[in-house]
Structure 1
Amino acid sequence: MANHMMDFPLNTIDILKSAALRYPEKEVVSALPDGSMHRYTYADSYKRAAQVANCLKSLSVKKGDHVATLAVNHYRHFELYYGISGMGGVVHTLNARLFVEQLEYIINHAEDSYLFIDPEFLPQIEALAGKIPTVRGVIILCDEDKMPESSVFKLQNYETLIKAQSETYEWPRLDSKHPCGLCYTSGTTGNPKGVMYEQGSTVLHAMMGGGSHFLNFDEWTVAMPIVPMYHVVAWGIPFSAPLYGAKLVLPGCALSGENIHRLIEEEQVNKSYAVPTVWLTLHNYLQATGKTIESLKLVGVGGAASPKALVKTFAEKYDVYWMGIWGMTETSPLATGAILTPEMSDLSAEECYELQSSAGKPIFGVEIEIFDANGNPLPHDGVTRGDLRVRGPWVLSSYYKSEGSNSFVDGWFETGDVAVINPEGYLRVVDRSKDVIKSGGEWISSVELENAALNYPAVNEACVIGAAHEKWDERPIMLVTLREGEDYNEDDLKRVLTEKVAKWWLPDAIIVVDELPHTGTGKLKKVDIRNEYRQYLLENYN
């Protein structure tokens, strides 16, 4: 059959090229380590992306080669996204919070050709000297006068390399299946696995993710992705923001409540995206200082369950809409979102908070379903729990180098999440499969217990794990950090929990700690906590 449309695959560089033409003066603003701000336009960034591509060509980087970045959210990382992928290379974003041993494994598994890194991460790379044989050079992302020294690598300066290059580049027209990005899972069990993003899937994700039925970007948007560019492409926002003409604010690595507030106020940020712990940090800062965030209208929240107590706080104290989001490295990552709908105007505030704290409905193109242990679909009644599966045009079909084939069943990707779906299609992830607590043959959701604890004013953060129990196999224990200036009483906390969950779910022990460990993306390190507290009940209550 004859084709009736042009064979014209869209590439990632088309996004920045279009932004430079349609929104040439729209800003990309970056917070730098010295506290200063860097400003330039989409037109400027497009020229520098061309210089990056020419630089890579001069370094003999070819189509399909993997080029790694180890950097936070700033303008140089932004232009690397486009320069590398635009010339046909693969942007491999390295997680800056990984252990050196994990970086070694990932760099070698990906067979990276060059490393573009922020100066502060040089010690981590120096520790790998002699252990990453495919790497041909290390390029430092800083001004020429701020170059660090190294006794083990011959370093090159990013600005020195690109300033000698032309600001124009003959971009190739790449097949939609051509790889453009590589991101590794967190590897909480076994080695991390690579997820390869493609040109076509990335552009489609940017179009759908930034559209009016999801992130809703336009020329009035000032978007600040706090979620790191080194993990899951900052939720695709460095691609979707320029596609729709939004001003882009990149916060660097200074993510204290004070710095986040400063950026929101100075740049008039109206939409921002991060894991729940970031918004908890900002809330604590605002409470301590009495400051406001009047420009901010929406926060997109993913990476962990949305605590309903925080949803309510942001609505009632700050007039900010909390949009629960769900996705994974394997879904590029945006899959579902609790967008504001006209129907919500007919609901009570509490009913709205319930929807906002969910993961929302699937974005166009993504399908979700829950299954029982035998692979049978389960009802969408908002109560029945099942194993969550997902499929769609930007959901992976296999891991890099064909690893983890047991994660794919009948065209679906098995997420490892336990979830419910209500009759209106709203998804609620109740736990990770490995985090569900099985007590006497019955299941207890650690996430629901943690969220219930946040209704008690003195609790700042909560973590629930299953501890070994002589009679019941497992029983929940809860670790909490406390908020300054609030009175804490364990019996009062238990009374609050009883209002939210079944009495037999109540933790057998509540332990107050100074802090809880988190991953580089803000998630609780439950593996570490389980390792430390797994025997707690056997050792203290026998």
Structure 2
Amino acid sequence: MMKGDLLISSMIERAERFFPKKEVVSRTMNGIQRFSYKQIGQRTRKLASRLDEFGISREDKIGTLAWNHHRHLELYFAVPSIGAVVHTINIRLAPEHIVYIINHAEDELIFVDEDVFPLIEATHQNLRTVKAFIVMTDNELPETAVPNVYSYEEWIASGDPDYQFPKDIDEEAPAGMCFTSATTGNPKGVLYTHRSTVLHSMSLAMADTVGASETDVSMPVVPMFHVNAWGMPYVGTWLGSTIVMPGPRFTPKLLAELIEQERVTMTAGVPTIWLGLLKELEENNYDVSSLRAVVCGGSAAPLGMIKTFEKKYNVPFLHAYGMTETSPLATVSRLKSYQRDLPEDELYEERAKQGILVPGLDMKVVGASGEVAWDEEEMGELLLSGPWIADDYYKDDRGEEAFIDGWLHTGDVCTVDEEGVIKIVDRTKDLIKSGGEWISSVDLENAIMAHESVFEASVVSIPDPEWQERPIACVVVHDGKTMTKEELFDFLRPQFAKWWLPDDVLFMEEIPKTSVGKFLKRALRDEVQKHYQV
């Protein structure tokens, strides 16, 4: 068989060659802009040639502080295509974490959006390796005391639109870098290779996973600074999909409008995004009939939300699971052919699980006594391995705790049924141990959010002198709705054993979230414990 390296440059080259007329729809600070793949290809080559002229070498790190738009997409391809590493930085992290990440990665250049540039102004003196800052804007550069600041459009203007990407790059060479969200300690860096990125993109194109195709109008809502927007920009470009980039500081209203106006067929984001979109759909009229899939990951999706999308709006809901260390796609929840005639309650229970392992990966579920039985009862930690699973953290000895004997220890506790369907029960640190028995905060949260009056809910534990730990429910009620503790307890009692029920319900205006929209349980625990200390 012929030998050929799997390189990211081949993806943009395919889009240029076979889909030159297809579009990237990009929302920026100045409104909607449209580019053909021919134009994106030329701009990407100009950017690559300028990076080359600047002296960027193989495996140099190039940082981005940017939203989802066409310039960020060009960086996704230009940087790895010359052998460097595109380092997407989470703009929602604390400034001290952003400084740590840039210094730890040793970024040579930072490409930054104009509305994020004040962050650079506040931190640039602490950045040890950055040689220049390129501001991505259509407007004039802001006046600034930061040295070596350039305009992206002016910077690439002199680039070569016919620049040829080198072909001697090793497929195992690093191509991308993303840091974890840092719920505890400093963020941890994960490197992705050309090979891992291409193979991960192939997995997204499988009919039994996400089923990405040329016919899709794909809108990645998950940020491009978070695990490569789950790989959607890569697979979309490779296959010639129309890509809709929602741009800076979008709202549920904006997402609904883009879905309607651009006839979006597939979109992806975390549950809190889709809860916000549902609220917007409830309050205003939109045509979302073009959607063939809402892909949800990051944390468990509430059963009630899945039902609402599918039954009320006729929008198929696709539950997936992964993490920064898994590129991220690891499992997808799709009904098997013979499960489609299940009774409705059983059908939706299956849909709410995290599904089965994506082809190409391997898994184990390990408890205190070894691998657990596939009986949907015994719980254990999910372990993963495969060609797009990380094998270490970047220059960080904490990898010794997560990567052991060729397996990634995910920290997620799950059960597996007899057919291999995974149900994430909790994070190991979030399981609640009460009277020697385990309580799943995820199961309680999903049950609570099935109540029609509940907008968001999160369950955490507090210490208990008798039972060790007890669950407390934190609830945000829909605008215009009311709820009492007793109403919620009446709703939960038929679903759980008495000892599973929360000891209390705290009604809140908002539940704290991580930089990527997940519930931030560490901060929530602190709030709850302070509440009971008063």
> How far 1:345 sits from its partner (Å)?
2.4
> How far 1:457 sits from its partner (Å)?
1.3
Equivalent residue number for residue 533 of structure 1: 528
Q: Return the letter of the residue paired with 1:162.
A: I
1:400 maps to 2:394:
yes
**CA contact under 8 A between 1:226 and 1:273: conserved in structure 2?**
yes
Equivalent residue number for residue 263 of structure 2: 268
Equivalent residue number for residue 18 of structure 1: 14
Cα RMSD, aligned residues only: 1.4
Separation (CA, whole Å) in 2 of partners of 1:397 and 1:154: 36
**CA contact under 8 A between 2:214 and 2:236: conserved in structure 1?**
no
> How far 1:341 sits from its partner (Å)?
4.2
Please list the CA deviations of residues 292-338 of structure 1 after superposition, one character each: whole Å capped at 9, or x if unmatched.
41211210100010110101111111001111100010001111101
Separation (CA, whole Å) in 1 of partners of 2:300 and 2:285: 27
Decide which of 439, 443, 447 is 2:442's aligned counterpart.
447
1:329 maps to 2:324:
yes
Equivalent residue runs for 1:128-527 within 5 Å = 128-143=123-138, 145-173=139-167, 174-374=169-369, 376-403=370-397, 404-527=399-522
Q: Which runs of 5+ in 2 are unaligned?
A: none
Decide which of 52, 69, 77 is 2:72's aligned counterpart.
77
Separation (CA, whole Å) in 2 of partners of 1:382 and 1:245: 40
Please list the CA deviations of residues 34-77 of structure 1 after superposition, one character each: whole Å capped at 9, or x if unmatched.
4x211111121111111111111121111110000000100000
* SS state at 1:493 partner: helix
Separation (CA, whole Å) in 2 of partners of 1:456 and 1:449: 12
> How far 1:244 sits from its partner (Å)?
2.0
**CA contact under 8 A between 1:67 and 1:89: conserved in structure 2?**
yes
**CA contact under 8 A between 1:389 and 1:415: conserved in structure 2?**
yes
Q: Return the letter of the residue paired with 1:78.
A: L
> How far 1:402 sits from its partner (Å)?
4.8
* SS state at 1:169 partner: coil
Separation (CA, whole Å) in 2 of partners of 1:535 and 1:506: 21
Separation (CA, whole Å) in 2 of partners of 1:301 and 1:426: 17
Separation (CA, whole Å) in 2 of partners of 1:400 and 1:309: 39
1:27 maps to 2:23:
yes
Separation (CA, whole Å) in 2 of partners of 1:147 and 1:341: 54
The two structures have a TM-score, normalised by structure 1, of: 0.96
**CA contact under 8 A between 2:218 and 2:264: conserved in structure 1?**
yes
**CA contact under 8 A between 2:181 and 2:515: conserved in structure 1?**
no
CA spacing shift, 1:340–1:246, aligned 2, 3 Å:
farther
1:38 maps to 2:33:
yes
* SS state at 1:130 partner: helix
Separation (CA, whole Å) in 2 of partners of 1:410 and 1:219: 39
> How far 1:448 sits from its partner (Å)?
0.8
* SS state at 1:138 partner: strand
Please list the CA deviations of residues 87-130 of structure 1 after superposition, one character each: whole Å capped at 9, or x if unmatched.
00100000010010000111111000000000111111112122
Equivalenced residues, count: 532
Equivalent residue number for residue 57 of structure 1: 52
**CA contact under 8 A between 1:323 and 1:357: conserved in structure 2?**
no
Separation (CA, whole Å) in 2 of partners of 1:251 and 1:510: 36
Greater Cα offset, 151-160 or 228-237? 151-160
Runs of 4+ with deviation above 6 angstroms? none
**CA contact under 8 A between 2:22 and 2:242: conserved in structure 1?**
yes
The two structures have a TM-score, normalised by structure 2, of: 0.97
Greater Cα offset, 290-299 or 353-362? 290-299
* SS state at 1:323 partner: strand
* SS state at 2:40 partner: helix
**What is the identity percentage for the equivalent residue pairs of Structure 1 and Structure 2?**
40
> How far 1:146 sits from its partner (Å)?
3.2
